[in-house]
Structure 1
Amino acid sequence: MKKILIVCGAGASSGFMAKNIRLELKKRGMTADFEFIARSDTELDEYIDSIDMLLIGPHLRYMLQGMTEYCKPYHIPVYVIDQNAYGALDGGAIIDFVIQKFKEKENCI
């Protein structure tokens, strides 16, 4: 199971996003493949040892470089969520993006 942490400022909007992602995972029969956790960006330290990917809300784009550097020693990829997908709470688009990124990573090994 791949664990993905979604962060936003207070954890509220990422919580709505994670809920929609979980619903879409259930529709696709993929609940055993991925776990999406939504938290505030200030809680990253608590999850850094247990996640496989970090997704940042588009409103926190300015934090991308700092979070990427922080996650580098842990080999955790960091991405900003597409603004349109985030705004629409499009769980399917986020799942597709995550799957694509994991496939790209596997092809690089």
Structure 2
Amino acid sequence: MRIIVVCGAGASSTFIAHRIRQAATARGMTVEARATSESRLVDSLDGADVLLVGAHLGDRIGLVREHAHAASVPVVILPESAAAAPDGATALDLALEFAGAGS
């Protein structure tokens, strides 16, 4: 499974992607979780199974959804609680739930 995490500049998404990888490893799963910035989103969607979007991008979610829809990648708004969690379990669970579900 390939998970893309996007935030405005890519810094917080890097931490979230790292925690998702750790949670997946703890479950014995093989997951590729990568962070990207909003400016590099289109290039990052190729081959993705799901896109997790930081809630702070809410004012630009329409454009993010358009890009994801064009790439046939489902979009999940990542709640602040999941983004701030010390582990990536909730974010991983959301990604697993929505992967393949369509956007």
TM-score bracket, normalised by the shorter chain, equals 0.7 to 0.9
TM-score by length of structure 2 reads 0.87
Query: Which entry has the higher C-alpha Rg, 1 or 2?
Result: 1
1:18 aligned partner, one-letter code = A
* Aligned partners of 2:74 and 2:99 also within 8 Å: no
Separation (CA, whole Å) in 1 of partners of 2:83 and 2:22: 15
Over aligned residues, Cα RMSD in angstroms? Answer: 1.8
Letter of the structure 2 residue corresponding to residue 43 of structure 1: R
Match of 1:88 among 63, 85, 88: 85
Q: Mind listing any 5+ residue stretches in structure 1 that lack a counterpart?
A: none
Structure 1 residue 25 corresponds to structure 2 residue 24? yes
Deviation track 1:40-63 (CA, whole Å, cap 9, x = no partner) reads 111112222221211111111222
The answer to which structure has the higher helix fraction is: 1
TM-score by length of 1: 0.83
**Identical columns (%):** 35
1:42 to 39, 42, 47: 39
Runs (4+) of structure 1 exceeding 3 A deviation are none
